[in-house]
Chain A
Amino acid sequence: MPRLSDTMTQGTVSKWLKQQGDEVKKGEPIVEIETDKANIELEAYASGKLARIVLKEGESAPVGDLIGEIALPGEAPAPGAAEGRAGGRTGGSEAPSAPTTTAEHEGAAVSATDAKQPEPTQQQAEAGAQGTLTQPAAADEGSEHDGQGLRASPMARRLARELGVDLASIKGSGPLGRIQKEDVEAAAKAPAAPSAKPVETALAAADVEMVPLSRMQQTIARRMVEAKSQVPHFYVSMEIDMDRAVADLDELNEGVAKEELVTINDLIIRACALTLRDYPDVNSFYQDGKLIRNHRVNVGFAVAIQGGLIEPVIRDADQKNLRELAAESKRLARKMREGKAELSDYEGGTFSISNLGMYGVSEFSAIINPPHSAILAMGAVQDRAVVVNGQLAVGKRCTLTLSADHRVFYGATAAEFLRAVKHRLEKPLSLFV
C-alpha cells in the first residue's frame, strides 16, 4: 500500500483495474486506491503479470502492506500465498510467523514505497535466527507482516499477552506502523474504548443505526480535532462594501458563456492572493517554535463533495489574473466533484478560503486547516441596510471572517490584512487588471 498523500496512514482498494493473471505494463493504472483524501489510480511500478491480488476490493491496509504482486516476465508466480517463515528459531517462543514471498525479493511487489530502507540489522538477525540466508534482499520492504496484516515488536506481543490487550485494536507508532511496547502500555492504561454498547442500551436498537465513516471523513474528523485542540484560533470579522465589485463583475460577465463566468469567489481569491504578498505572516506556518515562511502564495478553497470536503489549491494564485483564476478554480472544483482528485490538486496550500455565501449564510467562522495559519470565511453578498453620509440606504455587503493562528500573528496583523483585502474589494479595479 503506497503512501499517496502526506497524511495517509492506510488505504482501501476501491477497484482493481486489472485482474489476477492480466499482463500489466509499467506506468499503466492497475488499481484504484481510496485514501483519506481521494480516489487515486495506482500505476504499475514494473511490467509483468499481475500474479496475485492480496488486498481485495473494499479491503483496507496500512501503508506499507502488500496489496498485490507483479511477476516479472519469465518469472514463476510467487509460490502460493506466502508460506510462513520456517521456524528453527532457538530462542524465540511465539515469534510472529512472518510470511515473505520470493516475489518480494525478485519481482516487483506492489508494496511499501515508504522510502525507508529496511534495517540491515533486522534482516541479518532474521536470517541468522533462521539459520539460512536465502539471498541478500536489497529491497525487502514491508515483508514483515503476518496474515492479519499486524505488525508488532516481540516485546509488544509479549506485553499484550500479559496485559490481555488486543493488538488488533492498537495503532502502532513504530516504523511502518509497528506496534511497540509503549503503544501496548498506553492501550492498557487507556479507559476501555467506548463501544457502541452504551448507545444501544440507552436507545432501542431500532432507534439508531451505525454509519461507518469513510476514510476521508475519518481524516477530516481527526484533523479538525487536531486543529481545534492544538491551534489557538482567534477571529476577526469585517463587513465589505461590494457595490462596485458586483457591478464590475456583472459588466465583465455580460454575454460571457457560463463556463467562463468569473465569480465573487474568484474575486475574493484574487484579493487575498495579492494581499498575502504584503502580509507574509498570514502566509506562514507554525512549526516547533519556528515560522515556516512560504515564498509562494498557494490558495486553497473548500469544495463540498459527496461524503466530505476537499480543498483544491490554486498554485501561485498571486501570479494569475482573474480569468486564469476563474478558469482554474472551475476546473479544480469540477475535478473534485467528479472524485478524480489527484494528490497534486490539493497539496501544498498556504492559505484557505471557505465560502458558504451560496447558501445565504451571512457570516461564519471556519476551522484552520493545518499547517495553514489562517482561513477566510466568506458569507453571502446581501442587500443590507447601511448608513451612507448619515442617511439610511441599501447596499450590497458581505462579511468576511478571518480565523487566525495566534502563534503566528496577532489581532493587529489580522485586522490590517482584512482592511487591505477590504480596500482591494471596495476599489476593485486592481483586481481586474
Chain B
Amino acid sequence: MAVITYREALNHALREELQRDDNVMLMGEDIGVFDGSFKVTQGLYKEFGEKRVKDTPISEDTIVGAGVGAALAGLRPVVEIMTINFSLLATDQVVNHAAKIRYMFGGHATVPMVIRMPGGGGHQLGAQHSQSLEVWYANIPGLVVVAPATPADAKGLLKTSIRDDNPVVFIENEGLYNTKGEVPEGELLTPLGQADVKRQGKDVSLVSHSRMVLLCLEAAEELAKEGIEAEVVDLRSLRPLDAATLRKSIEKTNHAVVVEEGWGSYGITAETAATIYEAAFDFLDAPLVRISGVEVPMPYAKRMEQACIPTVQQIVAGAKKTLGKAA
C-alpha cells in the first residue's frame, strides 16, 4: 500500500473519476490555473483542460448554483468552496435547491453533485475562518454529509460521493491535508453511511469524526499505557449516521466518549449521544461524556485558540471519567 497525504488522496480520487467519467467536472475559486487554495486540484487543470476544471468568480452562491444546474442537466459536478466558512453564502443553493429538488420533483430529477469544503480551526485564522459547521448541513434531509479522517477514507468516500446520485456535502479539514496514511492500490470505493472502527478495544468507545479521530487514536494509545483498551469509532458519514456500528461498539464497551472539534450544543456529539441512548441504552454502564470545542467565536491568539479545541488529554480524562477511574 502506498503512503500518501490526505491532499494527495483527494487529488487521486478526483483524477480517477475525471478519467473514468466524462460527465465529472470540477468548479471552484482558483482550482484551475492556481491548482487550488489547498492544492487539492493540483495538475488537474493542466491534464483535463478548462472545460472539465473551471475557475469561477468569487461568488459561492453562484458556484453551487451553477453546480446544481449542471447536475440537473446531467453532469456530475464537484464544486469546491474554499472553506466551510464561506459556504454560508451558498446555503440557499445547498439547502433550498440541492437538497430539495429530488424530493420536490417526485424523483424525476436528481442532483448528483459533490460540494467539497474544508473546515476546522487551529491555524490562527480568526473567528470567521476557523469554524466546524458540519452540523448545519447534517441537519438537512436530502443531503448526504461525510467527513473523512484518513487519506484512505478521503479517497474512497470522495469517489463514492461523486458516483452517488444525491448531493453530497464533503467536509475536509485544513489540519488533515498534510497527514499521511496508507491507501490501498486500485479502485477504492468506501460506502456512504458507514462508520468505521479505527481501533478495536473493549473498555470504552471514543466516537468522533474528521481530525478528532486522530486525537482519539492518540488518546487510545495513552489509555493503553494504563491498561484501558479504548475502541475508536470514526463516524465518517454524519448523515446518515451509522447507528448500527455505534450500537455494536457500545454493546462491547458499555462506555462512550463522544468528541467533536466544533461546538457541542445541538452538535454532532449531541446527535451521536442521542443515537447511543436510543440504540444502546441497555448497554450503557455510565453516563457518556461529551467533549467539544469551547462555545465562543474562535480567538485569534494562539494559546487561546488551542484552549478552545479539544485535546488528547481531555479525551483521556473523559474516558477515565465515564469509567469511574480517577484522572
Residues of A within 8 A of B (CB): 89-95, 119-122, 124-125, 128-129, 153-158, 173-175, 178, 180-181
Contact = CB atoms under 8 A, between A and B. Distances in A.
Interface stretch (B115-123, B174-182, B279-287): B279-287
A155 B277 contact: no
Nearest to B318: A121
A155 B282 contact: yes
A127 to B, nearest CB: 10
Contact of B290 (A121, A153, A156, A178): A121
Interface string B284-309: 11111110000000000000000000
Contact of A91 (B270, B278, B286): B278
A216 B278 CA distance: 44
Contacts of A156: 285
B286 A174 contact: yes
A124 B277 CA distance: 11
B161 to A, nearest CB: 30
A125 B324 contact: no
A91 B281 contact: yes
27 contacts: A91-B279, A92-B277, A92-B278, A92-B281, A92-B282, A93-B282, A95-B281, A119-B287, A119-B289, A120-B290, A121-B287, A121-B289, A122-B287, A128-B270, A129-B274, A153-B285, A154-B284, A155-B254, A155-B282, A155-B285, A157-B282, A158-B282, A174-B324, A178-B286, A180-B286, A180-B324, A181-B254
A13 B270 CA distance: 41
Contacts of B283: 154-155, 158
Contact of A124 (B254, B270, B284): B270
A133 B254 CA distance: 26
Contacts of A178: 286
Given A154-B284, A173-B324, A180-B324, A90 B273 contact: no
Contacts of B287: 119, 121-122, 125
Nearest to A118: B287
B295 to A, nearest CB: 13
A83 B278 CA distance: 23
Nearest to B251: A155
Given A89-B278, A154-B281, 20 more contacts: A90-B278, A91-B281, A92-B281, A93-B281, A93-B282, A95-B281, A121-B288, A121-B289, A125-B277, A128-B270, A128-B273, A153-B284, A155-B285, A158-B283, A174-B286, A178-B286, A180-B285, A180-B286, A180-B324, A181-B254
Interface of B: 254, 270, 273-274, 277-290, 324
Nearest to B289: A121
A275 to B, nearest CB: 37
B273 A129 contact: no
B96 to A, nearest CB: 28
A91 B280 contact: yes
B278 A129 contact: yes
Nearest to B265: A124
Contacts of B279: 91
Nearest to A157: B282
A124 B264 CA distance: 12
Contacts of B270: 124, 128
Contacts of A93: 281-282
Contacts of A153: 284-286
A92 B278 CA distance: 6
A124 B265 CA distance: 10
Name, among B254, B282, B283, B285, the residue most crowded by chain A CB atoms within 10 Å (CB to CB). Answer: B285
A119 B278 CA distance: 18
Contacts of B274: 125, 128-129
B145 to A, nearest CB: 21
Contact of B277 (A120, A129, A158, A174): A129
Nearest to A89: B281
A54 to B, nearest CB: 24
Contacts of A174: 286, 324
A92 B128 CA distance: 40
B273 A155 contact: no
Contacts of B280: 91
B138 to A, nearest CB: 16
A120 B295 CA distance: 15
B285 A181 contact: yes
B285 A125 contact: no
A126 to B, nearest CB: 8
A373 B24 CA distance: 79
A128 to B, nearest CB: 5
Contacts of A89: 278, 281
A319 B19 CA distance: 91
Contacts of A128: 270, 273-274, 277
Nearest to B271: A128
Contacts of B290: 120-121, 124
A19 B110 CA distance: 72
A34 to B, nearest CB: 29
B101 to A, nearest CB: 31
A120 B286 CA distance: 13
Contacts of B289: 119, 121
A165 to B, nearest CB: 15
A181 B277 CA distance: 17
A153 B281 CA distance: 9
Nearest to A95: B281
A200 to B, nearest CB: 38
B286 to A, nearest CB: 6
A155 B284 contact: yes
Contacts of A155: 254, 282-285
Given A91-B277, A175-B324, A180-B324, A125 B282 contact: no
B228 to A, nearest CB: 14
A5 B94 CA distance: 61
A175 B286 CA distance: 9
Contacts of A91: 277-281
B324 A154 contact: no
A121 B254 contact: no
Contacts of A95: 281
Given A121-B289, A175-B324, A154 B282 contact: yes
Nearest to A129: B277
B260 to A, nearest CB: 13
B291 to A, nearest CB: 10
Contacts of B254: 155, 181
Contacts of A122: 287
A145 to B, nearest CB: 15
Instruction: Across the A-B interface, give the 8 residue pairs with the lowest CB-CB distance, nearest first.
Output: A91-B278, A122-B287, A92-B281, A155-B285, A119-B287, A181-B285, A158-B282, A153-B285
A113 B32 CA distance: 64
